[in-house]
Structure 1
């Protein structure tokens, strides 16, 4: 912005549940002067249960409503499933809006691996998406990439964040297919291709058969948002409206409200 003006429009972040809070956490570190609007599409949770065409249509319509109601400076689709499915459609539908997507961190994984064995841990929807396979073809042809579709891990992360408990055996069952041994080599990087997963990464480390680099994309997403947004003039903290959480169900339970408040969101 120029002339000392401050753009008070919020940066909108959307996920089907709590996963996008991992991105919000990083974005606040990089952009403390920004105001944030966190949208929980809990009326549609989990996205993995939707038919692709119906979910894409829902997301395009929902973002239209949110843009009209809140006039965000940009929108972050803080969900791999939604991004790999609908990001192109959103950009076509709202060409004047800046969108930042969340896609599997396959490029950095391919650059960092030493063994050449990389696993992508994602929801089944992200695993089957052509978008994901195109990323592998573009950036990771010199690696062996295993796509692991976890049916239950996002829900386990939601349970953990709401109640502080998670069955470690259940976590182990979800991550076990990520670990491959071949010709004396072992998987050395697991891409966390769902924003929910970092919430249970400590449990994953504990249950892993050997140490790996768990690649969390949250900081990279936040940095991408910072890069495309206009700069806000001025230094230091300023008085501004609080960050808020919006629930598409309009019926968040008390535990979820407290969780949002714990992240500094007015729910």
Structure 2
């Protein structure tokens, strides 16, 4: 056994020397990042354009900070589903809605609990009705659900803290009355239901935010490289040139 250990040690030293000398490539196993959490074809990484402004159709611009919070709510509520869009179809208990035309408004019984919560952010029917009345979303599709969740965050007076880019215990406690899976300052659910630990939420949020900011910065760089062409020089009369401006 001792002889085998010595040979293994010599082998490792030889390998290290080869890497340093450049004769062998250095292969480093990637550490888990949000890249493994954010599928490229899902809304989990979808951000508003850098120059987007709120409108009647889209009252809430989606920044990296806001998307990281939305993703974290999904993670806490059990609708993350690897970041895939199927999470927007989840009903309480894990079943899937057949359609996203409207909130299903269907009570599901599971173990000791019964609920009609549905969607990525587990909207209750009366809560979704409030969302529709307040910001005028239509249907129950992913975009409408994202906007509805941001409205509820603002309703809890937590949008400013969300935009700061730090998931603090105070912020999770402010959202605990809206999402039962978020812990209060005491670390418990506001409604006495199963709750995610703050440390797990913070870890998930931080990894997401880092990746989403990287995506935003890449998009900004791409836009910066597409420099607008210089204006054409008019060689005609002053009146003719003025009409072309």
User: Normalization by structure 2: what TM-score?
Assistant: 0.25
Structure whose residues are more often strand by fraction:
1
The structure number with the bigger radius of gyration is 2
User: Normalization by structure 1: what TM-score?
Assistant: 0.23
